[in-house]
Amino acid sequence: MKTDRRIGWVWLVLLASVVGCSNSAPVPTYPTSGSVIYDGKPAKGVQVFLLPTSAPIVPQVPQNPYGITDEQGQFRLTTYGDFDGAAEGGYQVVLLWPDESAAEEAEGASQDRFLGWYDASRSQLTVNIKPGTNQLLPFKIPKVTRPPEELKGVPGRN
């Protein structure tokens, strides 16, 4: 009788560990890179964020994919660790380009050089990440001369 109980417990522990492993496996990510071109020139220091529309969300992944453009306007996305990419699915692209000179003048409050045109409430930029390596088309941003009009609610929701 004791042996039967021990075998039962062993099976229970094995089953629990198998189920536990399948639930804790990370969502796969795929290398994803792209570029930001502003007014015909590479934009250095643009923060690129992907907000899931039909992709895994936190807590399925530790954070939304993000990257920062280099001197050539190129970026690579990170979700779990350095430049591992993004999970499969659809995303809204949010761009923030801090103005370092304005940040120094305003004691740390950085102003977006895109003036809010590509924040989460206004950006019309979208991408779809597929399995494999993803080289996104360049985000070609025209010169911004004025901020957008004030929103009267969230687009698509009001």
Q: Residue 58: its pLDDT value, please?
A: 94
Q: Residue 8: its pLDDT value, please?
A: 45
Q: Residue 19: its pLDDT value, please?
A: 39
Q: Residue 150: its pLDDT value, please?
A: 84
| β strands within the chain, DSSP E | 29-30, 32-38, 41-42, 47-52, 66-68, 74-76, 86-87, 89-96, 98-99, 111-112, 126-129, 134-135, 139-141
Q: Residue 16: its pLDDT value, please?
A: 39
**Tens of pLDDT, residues 96-111:** 999 877 655 555 456 9
Nearest Cα to Cα of residue 147 among 121, 117, 126, 119:
117
Q: Residue 24: its pLDDT value, please?
A: 55
Q: Are 97 and 113 in contact (CB under 8 A)?
A: yes
The list of the chain residues with pLDDT below 70 reads 1-25, 102-110, 153-158
Check if CATH label 3.90.1150.10 holds for domain 29-141.
no
